Amino acid sequence: MATVATIGTSTLNEVSRIKYLKSMLELSLRSALVSEKICQVDRTEAKFIANPYITAMTAAISSTLGTYALTTQATTDDTCTVQDQVSSASHLFEFEETLSRADLYSSFVQEMTNAVAVKVDQFVLNKVLDGATGAYTCPSGGFSSTNIVEIMSNLISKVAGFAEMYKGLFLVIENTEIPGFAAAQVNSGFSYADAALNNGFMGSFMGVDIYVVRSGVFVTTTLGSLTATNSGHRLFGVKGVATYAAPRGVQYDEKKVTLITGREIACWANIGAKVWTPKASLLVDVTI
């Protein structure tokens, strides 16, 4: 529902001199969405995505014998289940839309779909972090400029040597860690430091893509079906090894409601995320 009293209440004298910047309302600040950059995304209409795995096999080496030994292999089910829903809804009365000089409907839908996408992003990041089995604790001082190189070196070593590493590495930090990173980048020397000094914060450091989310994305609280204990933690890993399922992506619907003018607008997304068991060590839970 719009509080339209604050829109277009200018006096007649002012109205003739007012120019609206846009046909829509100005929307709130938008957070960067990261999860699609680091996960494999599935938008098919599946509730379950099954990905059974096999135990790791090893090969024996010996002098030429002509014989061999058998080992038993086991398979295990692993499933990504879509069981959470993110929603945002409101009602827009007919008089609000008609009497407003801005396009309230478009403004509502854009704002709500963005809110849904941001919450989905937070859920996925926290869910993937919860499933990460790699672990690293930063030295005292966390992501300070003097620690950055040591931290990045250690994080890279956690996944180095696995073939998947060449899919690309990522680190998700919150904006409060930028001061340490920015200082490390401009002080790192030579052409890289020059580039950082000229262009500002670099989205890549030591071959790792750095994604920045707003403070408060990694949380210790209940997020739908997830009991997240991630405050003070960040996520590092190999891109594309976790799966995030959002059947049909963000959807919206507008409907007439009996006895009320205008339309009810609802936006929602159904989501699930999974870190596949054999690949879980390619994702590292970074404790600050």
Partner 1 sequence: MKEEHKNLKANEPVKPVELSELDEFLAKAKAQNPVKFALKEKAGEFDKLRKSLGGK
Nearer to partner 1, 224 or 240 (CB): 224
The reply on whether position 7 binds partner 1 by CB under 8 A is no
The reply on whether position 285 binds partner 1 by CB under 8 A is yes
The reply on whether position 118 binds partner 1 by CB under 8 A is yes
Instruction: State the nearest-atom distance from the C-beta of 74 to partner 1, in Å.
Output: 20
Contacting range for partner 1; rule: CB under 8 A; set: 10-18, 53-61, 77-85, 203-211: 77-85
Nearer to partner 1, 10 or 231 (CB): 231
The reply on whether position 16 binds partner 1 by CB under 8 A is no
Residues 6+ away with beta carbon under 8 Å from 232: 218, 287, 288
The reply on whether position 125 binds partner 1 by CB under 8 A is no
The reply on whether position 135 binds partner 1 by CB under 8 A is yes
Could you give the maximum distance between any two Cα atoms of the chain, in Å? 100
The count of residues interacting with partner 1 (CB under 8 A) is: 34
Residue the block writes with tokens 């779909």? 113
Instruction: State the nearest-atom distance from the C-beta of 15 to partner 1, in Å.
Output: 32
Nearer to partner 1, 235 or 267 (CB): 267
The reply on whether position 35 binds partner 1 by CB under 8 A is no
Nearest to 240 by CA among 37, 88, 22, 14: 37
The pattern of x and - marking residues 226 through 245 that bind partner 1 according to CB under 8 A reads xx-x-xx-------------
Residues 260, 254: Cα–Cα separation, whole Å: 13
Judge contact between 245 and 70, C-beta under 8 A.
no
The reply on whether position 121 binds partner 1 by CB under 8 A is no
Binds partner 1 by CB under 8 A, chosen from 123, 143, 181, 205? 123
The pattern of x and - marking residues 186 through 225 that bind partner 1 according to CB under 8 A reads ------------------------------x--xxxxxxx
Nearer to partner 1, 171 or 226 (CB): 226
Residues that bind partner 1 (CB under 8 A): 83-88, 112, 115-116, 118-119, 122-123, 130-131, 133, 135, 137, 216, 219-227, 229, 231-232, 267, 285, 287
